[in-house]
Structure formats: structure tokens, C-alpha cells
Structure 1
Amino acid sequence: MLLYQFRMGTNPRRVIIYLAEKGIDIPRYELDYANGEHRSVRYLGINPSGRAPTLVTDTGLAITDSAAIVEYLEERFPDRPMIGSDPLSRARVRSLERLGSDLVARGQLWLWNQTNAFPAKEPAPSQETADRISRYLSELLDILEKDIGGNAFLAGDEPTIADFTVFPIFQTARERFSLPFGEDHPRLDAWYRRFRLRPSADY
């Protein structure tokens, strides 16, 4: 197996954090985003979308979606399950993970318009658009704020793929762009600060 990654990227970090928490060591290749390696002919031949991450399996299949990569690895390495250990816990984790995926998608659209850092994605950032998307972000953050309750992690007392999905968009906004993402949601803010202390969260 070989994982093509961009360690600062929101979607790749879902996989990177998962691997660290799970204790899986696989070969990796760091894409040179600054010089456009993800748009090179060679990489586009592996992943036509030109995005990271991509996991090339031992059979040569390229898995190009971060959630699919994590689920594939969970099936390959079933010890210490991080997707739940029974039907009910798996349903809860998957529900939160999919909510997190929506949060990432909306959060990225917000970042494209809140900053000038993504000209290839949004050549004309709009503060009006960012403000409108912010309301849609708040809808999801409100749900997660209620769901986490008094838990240490999003789905309970142990980290799961739900945490690895949601944490990176918080980290991207707060650490790469110094934006107050989720700071007005006290339970999520506390969760983020706790999770940030974990070795897996380091860049």
C-alpha cells in the first residue's frame, strides 16, 4: 500500500489522524502542493481529481476518498475498532461521521470565501457568501454541540472516526487561518482543545 497525502490538508488529515490513533504504519508519499505536484500528469493518472489523499492498495486499486480509505483500513485491520463495536455503536459513529463530512464540505466552502488562499477553488471570494455559509455551518455545529453532551469524544468515551473527520476542519480554520471556528460552541471548543493535545493531532 502507498498513501499519497498532503499533511496540512483537511481531508488527508482524517486519514493521517486515523492511522496514528489506530497504530497503523503504511508507506506514504507527501505531495508537493506548493509546486502543483497534485496536478502533475503522473498524479492525475493515479487520481484524476488531483486531490489528496489517495490510497493505492496492494492490488493497485486507487481509493480516492478519505472516508472510503478509513473504512477500507478498518476492514483490513479490525483490531481496536474505531467505527463502533456493535450495530448500535456503529450506527451512532457513522451518523456523526456523516454529519462531520457535511461540516467539512460546508467549512471548505466557507474558507474558500472567507480567505484568499484558494484561488483555484474560488477566484472571487465573497464575504457575503461566507456569511451565508456560516449560518449553514452553525446548524451542524449546533447539532454536534448537543450530541457530544458530557462525552470526552464525539461518540462517547473513546475516539472514533467521527472525531477524526470533524477535528481537521476545526484545525484548518483555527491553526492555518487563525479563524474562530466553533469557538462559540463551548462543548465543541473544549473537545477540540482536549483532542489537540493528542499526539495524533500534531502536524
Structure 2
Amino acid sequence: MLLYQFRMGTNPRRVIIYMAEKGIDVPRYELDYHGGEHRSPEYLRINPAGRAPALVTDGGVAITESGAIVEYLEELHPHHSMIGTDPLSRAKVRALERVGNDLCVRCQAWLWNLTDAFAAKEPDPSRPLADKVYRYVEELLDILEASIGEARFLAGGYEPTIADCTTFAIFQTARERFDQPLGKTHHKLDRWYRDFRRRPSADY
């Protein structure tokens, strides 16, 4: 098994954080994004989308979406479940993880237009468009703020779930890579982020 990653990327980070929380050790290969290795013919044969992550199983099958990779690993390692232990808790975790995934998508569009770091995705960044997109980002932040309440983790309980891994990854990208105050005015989420950031899994 081999995980192709770009450790600074949001989607790879949700897998990396999950594996660290779960205690799963998978061999990894760091793609040279700056050198364009993720667009090389060799890597495109593994992941035609040309992005990280991609997990090649022991049987040689490539799994190319971060959410699918996490669920695949969770099925291989069901102990200390991070998706839930019964139908209701699994539904709650998956619902929140999907909100976190939507947040990733909206934040990426926001960051593409807020910075000039994504020329391949957005060669003509637009601050007015970034501001407009951020309104849709805040819509999801409001949902997560209401959901977490005073709990330590997004789905409640005493242990993180895949919802935390997904959502934390985009918070970390915005705050640490691009110095953007994502969620700073959502005080419960801000507290959650600062607490999660102290976990060993959150280290770059």
C-alpha cells in the first residue's frame, strides 16, 4: 500500500490527520507539486485528475478521493471507530463530514480568488468574487458553530471523528498557509480549532 500525498494540501491533510489520529502507518510518497510531478504521465496513470492524495492498495487499485480513502482505511481498521458506532452516530458524523467537505470546496474557490497562489486554477483572481464566495463559506461556518455547541469535537463525544479531520484541514490551510482568519468570528469553532491544533496529528 502506498499513499501519494502533498502534505501541505488540504485534501491530503484530511487523510494524514485521520491516519495520525487512528494510529495507521501507511508508506507515503511526497509528490513534487512545485515541479509538476502531480501532472506527470506516470502519476496521471494513477490519478487521472492529477491531484493528491491517491492511495494504491496492496492489490494495485488506486483510490483517488480523500473521503473514499479515509472510509476505506476505516473499514480496514474498524477498531476505535472515527465514523460512529451505531446507525444514528454514523449518520451524524457523515452529515457533519459532508458539511466539512462542502466547506473545503467553497473555501478553495474563495482562496483561489483571494490569493495569487493558484494560477493554474484561477489565473485572474478577483477580490470581489472572493468576498461574494465568502458569504457562502460563512453559511457553512454558521451550521458548524450551531452544531458543536459546547462540545469538544464537532460530532460531540470525547474523541475526534472524520468530521473533525476534514474540517480542521481547511481551517489549517486558510489560517496557516494563507494567514486568513477563517472562523475567527465563530467563537465556538475558533475554540475548537485552537484545541485541535494542539493535538500531535495537527502538526505539519
Common fold by TM > 0.5: yes
SS in structure 1 at match of 2:4: strand
SS in structure 1 at match of 2:60: coil
* Correspondence 1:81 to 2:47: no
Q: Which amino acid aligns with 1:77?
A: H
Structure 2: which 5+ runs fail to align?
A: none
Question: Which residue pairs with 2:91 in the alignment?
Answer: 91
Q: Structure 2: how far apart are the matches of 1:189 and 1:33?
A: 30
SS in structure 1 at match of 2:122: coil
Q: How do residues 55-66 of structure 1 correspond to structure 2 at under 5 angstroms?
A: 55-66=55-66
Q: Structure 1: how far apart are the matches of 2:129 and 2:61?
A: 38
Question: Which residue pairs with 2:199 in the alignment?
Answer: 198
* Correspondence 1:13 to 2:13: yes
Structure 1: which 5+ runs fail to align?
A: none
Offset, 1:34: 1.1
SS in structure 1 at match of 2:29: strand
Q: Which amino acid aligns with 1:169?
A: I
Question: Which residue pairs with 2:101 in the alignment?
Answer: 101
Offset, 1:108: 0.3
* Correspondence 1:168 to 2:160: no
> Under a length normalisation based on structure 1, what TM-score does the superposition of the two structures give?
0.99
Q: Structure 1: how far apart are the matches of 2:13 and 2:2?
A: 15
Q: CA RMSD in A?
A: 0.5
Q: Structure 2: how far apart are the matches of 1:127 and 1:184?
A: 20
Offset, 1:201: 0.2
Offset, 1:10: 0.2
> Which 4+ residue blocks in structure 1 deviate beyond 4 angstroms?
none
Q: How do residues 97-136 of structure 1 correspond to structure 2 at under 5 angstroms?
A: 97-136=97-136
Offset, 1:191: 0.2
Percent identity between matched residues is 71
